[in-house]
Structure 1
Amino acid sequence: MADYLASDEEKEVLEKYLLQFLNLEKRYPLLPGIENEEAIAGLMGLEHSELKKLRDRFSSNAKQAAIELLEDPEVAEWIEELPFEDGDTIVALGDSITDDLQSWFHIFEHVLEIGLEGSEYTFINSGVSYNSSTEALKRLNRDVLDHEPDWVIVALGTFDAQRLHVAPDRPMVSLADYWENLNTIEANVSEVTDNPLIWMTPPPVITEMLQQIRLFNFNLFEEDLSSIREILTGKKGYIIDPLGERMHDEDQEEHEGEENGGPAPWNYLSDGLHPSLSGHTNTVKELVRFLALAKDPEEGAQLETPDDFDTGEDED
């Protein structure tokens, strides 16, 4: 039993926001007792049963989202065309958008396990909340390379683009350093697998919502995130959602000559930064679509954009 129990107000904050990103086991892997879930519960002021119940709820959300996604006949067809082989180890290197207990990676895991019955894959979520590419690079050996992955999905860039309140004139990580960090990640991953990397672009952020959250000491702007995506589209491998449109409303009808309506608020949590369950589901659909429809590349070659991908440019 925890010596200190969180108040009802503190438990509400944990349940509604913090807990799904508070994976202390990954942030402090060398802390004594960190693998003991009962000890983790004590650090949060929860009973072990309470922590397990809350974590199980997020896991159930991800599984249910996968089940609903597989009801889409296109998704069911696409997963049969994925480039993975039975027994592959798939690692995701990312930030809190990946680390989320109901993140796109967990939904993706359930999609493959349910949709490809009989296939066996090993999924390793190496996302750590609020990581920039620099911080992720520091743990590349332990969290990625040591697992000898067959496939690596890199989902970094959101927190490279953050502009701190104390230094608003520049992003946290310069574009030059971001580029070098990706090159180093790519070079090291290529030593353990011949498969091309899968690059996940950062989704847009609704800055107005983010600025209402006093928890954060930074801002994020689409201009900076767009520059990150431009760098990613120049990489070799699978480029998932190069224009960062997966958070838009799929049912929104655009009239000729009108600009895209932008990301839909319901695809985000209240901070306008982290995807909601529907936002994560959109990400999985784009991931599966791009992997299935991309043309077969030569090893290490740049993959071509799928034939059905709408660039948004007007035809002559």
Structure 2
Amino acid sequence: MEPNVNPQWVKLVQSQHPEKMLSFVQQIDEGVLAALYGMDLATYRRVREALSQQVNVAAQQLLEDPAFVDRVDHLPFKQGETVVGLGESTTDDLVSWFEILRKLLELRRPQDAIRLINEGISGHTTAHVLGRMNGVMARQPDWILCMIGANDVMRISSAATKTLVSLEETARNIEEIRRIAAARSQSAWIWITPPTCDEERMAAYPYFQMGQLSWRNEDIIKVGERIRSMPELVIDIQASFGQSAMANFLGIDGLHPTIDGHKAIVRWVVEGLTGGNDR
């Protein structure tokens, strides 16, 4: 990224997408988006392009492995199908595992015209996702890759006695989300457990300190346990990230994956969709 670009602008463009929140607006052009972020159009475009380049580089690096290339070529998505990524900031991020997956398919299977729709929204809980399911199903997805639950276990205030959403409510929400999808379509459903975090790094992060926000791995792992009990295919990111996530997989805030973390996630997703490690 160019040294004169405010890093907070980069973070905002990367992880906050007002066009998704303002779904009632037919179209928001780039000039309006730039103004919402508090920057001029040229800067906004440079930031977007730099983030796009990160995704492109990440995909190219993954494709240096011939075995991985073969897996991408054999992903079960068929020509013309629609794949929805459903979740929170880990999916919404413009350099997320889902965006890297999009680039992998563009590079390896452009002739298949597989449509990827990123329905992740930063900050959303399973309750938010449940409330959005009619809109998601209107996309007529053939596949839904769903990674949710980390925001459910956010704790607010320094002496929080409960998570934002109880574990029992999270379980009911994910069951209802799946029920709605099954009733409205024949889409194939893939669960992805939310990754673990670095609690010490989160505790030291100034913005989380100001907001008195925190997450605990024990809570995230419990959400993972509920997701692992679902009958559909589950890609268990938690098992690979570790009980406390590997340092290079998480950014300075200890919660959101780095580009290395997202590359690892998309590798595990591709492996999970193509027969796992035993292939």
TM-score under structure 2 length normalisation: 0.91
Whether contact under 8 Å (1:196, 1:238) holds in the other structure is no
Whether contact under 8 Å (1:92, 1:126) holds in the other structure is yes
Q: Equivalent of 1:122, from 99, 115, 122?
A: 115
Structure 1 moving runs of 4+ over 4 Å: none
Amino acid at match of 2:86: L
Question: Which aligned pairs between 1:109-188 and structure 2 lie closer than 5 A?
Answer: 109-142=102-135, 144-165=136-157, 168-188=160-180
Q: Distance in 2 between matches of 1:12 and 1:307?
A: 42
SS in structure 2 of the partner of residue 278 of structure 1 = helix
Measure how far apart 1:29 and its partner are: 2.4
SS in structure 1 of the partner of residue 151 of structure 2 = coil
Q: Distance in 1 between matches of 2:159 and 2:78?
A: 46
**Structure with the higher fraction of residues in helix conformation:** 2
| CA deviation vs aligned residue, 1:60-93 (integer Å, no higher than 9, x gap) | 1112111111111221121233221111100011
Whether contact under 8 Å (1:245, 1:263) holds in the other structure is no
Residue-pair matches, total: 274
Q: Distance in 2 between matches of 1:200 and 1:286?
A: 10
Question: Which aligned pairs between 1:1-316 and structure 2 lie closer than 5 A?
Answer: 11-15=6-10, 17-30=11-24, 35-142=28-135, 144-165=136-157, 168-216=160-208, 217=211, 218-241=213-236, 244-247=238-241, 262-293=244-275, 307=278
Consecutive unaligned residues of structure 2, counting only runs of 5 or more, are none
Q: Distance in 1 between matches of 2:78 and 2:272?
A: 17
SS in structure 2 of the partner of residue 168 of structure 1 = coil
SS in structure 2 of the partner of residue 199 of structure 1 = strand
Whether contact under 8 Å (1:28, 1:34) holds in the other structure is no
Q: Distance in 1 between matches of 2:163 and 2:49?
A: 36
Structure with the greater alpha carbon radius of gyration: 1
- In percent, how many aligned pairs have the same letter? 29
Measure how far apart 1:34 and its partner are: 5.9
